[in-house]
Homo-oligomer: A and B are copies of this chain.
Amino acid sequence: MPESAVTLKDVARRAGVHPATASRALNVETRLLVSEETASRVLAAATELGYRPNAVARSLRTRRSHSIGVLIPDLNNPLFPPMVRGLADRLELHGYVALIGNTDGDEGRERRVYEQLRARHVDGYALATARLRDPLLADAARSGVPVVLMNRIAADDSFPSVTVDNDAGVRLVVQHLVALGHRDIACIAGPQDVSTGLARYRAFRSAMTGAGLDVPDSRVTFARAFSIEEGYRCARDVLAANDRCTAVAAGNDMLAVGCYLALDEAGLSCPADVSVVGFNDMPFIDMLRPPLTTVAFSHYQVGAHAADLLMERLNGASGPAKVIYVVPRLVSRGSTGPRS
């Protein structure tokens, strides 16, 4: 296989036409401008020479890089790889490639990666890092680059977004626990500056009220991050309050795992003493002991939908931003049982 030094000019020469004609023949959009016969001659020459168009030169000319910047808060969180897969798979169908950046939830790093990607002239962004009020989003909006939000959405509906229906998910959680006889239910809420944290917390309060149950302040703690460590810390706090809750609704699976650790430490058994419910049904969470009851939805679909919304935008659609809510379902496993 020869070096990819084969250029359009080479193909043209081989086919006995002008480079411009070769270009037209090779581009699907403009092929109809060229005679059937020369077109096939050019195509033949191209394959013979192993011609690969130079994407860089093309980008410079067309001002489209056919690449999408993707910002992920934490690629180590198993929730995100499937989302990235869904996004990248779908983008690939349209000839786009994803540039993935990890931000560690750090605002400065987020900004740096964003600018890096911008310098590479990505055609759009898919952000899984959105905070409810996010200066980065404001900038992005101003710059006019298409942006879609995954998993987390913004406070206003100005961006096309894909997220799980957090309200519905939390309702399922509370219903499940209530059906098992639980009335004293604690909440380990996620960070309140991102939509998933806030929406689930609010939904929890509202679902509890709807069930005629009280939520004293001592039964709510707020995690500063969706991490195992924070789940552990918060669960300890709740347990220390010592008001005998029989179930815990965690803001996501990571927090639930932290909760497991705290229960272990306190010598409490799950679900015999305390039931635990998570959110996300992330990979491997069913392998824990006990397997975690949680709210499931297709992470892959979130990414795939996000790609679709982005493609719409890139193709010039410009109506109001669509917000897609993926439907969740409760997966009942071993971490929840009847009230003791």
Chain A interfacial positions (CB closer than 8 Å to B)? 1-4, 52-57, 59-60, 65, 67, 75-76, 78, 81-82, 84-85, 88, 92, 97-102, 115-121, 139, 142-145, 257, 260, 283-284, 287-290
CA distance A284 to B78 in the complex (A): 10
- Within 8 Å by CB of A97, from B85, B116, B142, lies B116
From A78, which residue of chain B is reached at the shortest CB distance?
Answer: B78
Distance of A139 Cα from B75 Cα, bound (Å): 31
Bound together, the chains give a CA A215 to CA B243 distance in angstroms of 57
Q: Is the CB of A4 within 8 A of B143?
A: yes
Pairwise interchain contact A82-B78, C-beta atoms closer than 8 A: no
**A97-B116, A99-B99, A143-B3 are known contacts. Are A56 and B52 too (CB-CB below 8 A)?**
no
Report the nearest B residue to A299, measured CB to CB: B76
When chains A and B are docked, how far (Å) is the Cα of A53 from the Cα of B118?
10
Task: Please give, as numbers and ranges, the residues of chain B lying within 8 Å of A60 by CB-CB distance.
Answer: 54, 56-57, 60
Determine the distance from Cα of A92 to Cα of B288 in the docked complex, in whole angstroms: 35
Question: Quick check: B283 and A76 within 8 Å, CB to CB?
Answer: yes
Cross-chain contact B76 with A139 (CB below 8 angstroms): no
When distances are taken between beta carbons in the complex, the residues of chain B under 8 Å from A120 are 55-56, 67, 97
The answer to whether B288 touches A55 (Cβ under 8 A) is no
Report whether B1 and A142 are in contact in the complex, using a CB–CB cutoff of 8 Å.
yes
A-B pairs with beta carbons under 8 Å apart, 18 shown = A1-B139, A1-B142, A52-B119, A54-B121, A56-B120, A57-B60, A60-B60, A75-B81, A75-B84, A76-B78, A76-B283, A78-B78, A88-B100, A88-B102, A97-B99, A98-B99, A257-B287, A284-B284
- Which residues of chain B are near A92, meaning CB under 8 Å? 116
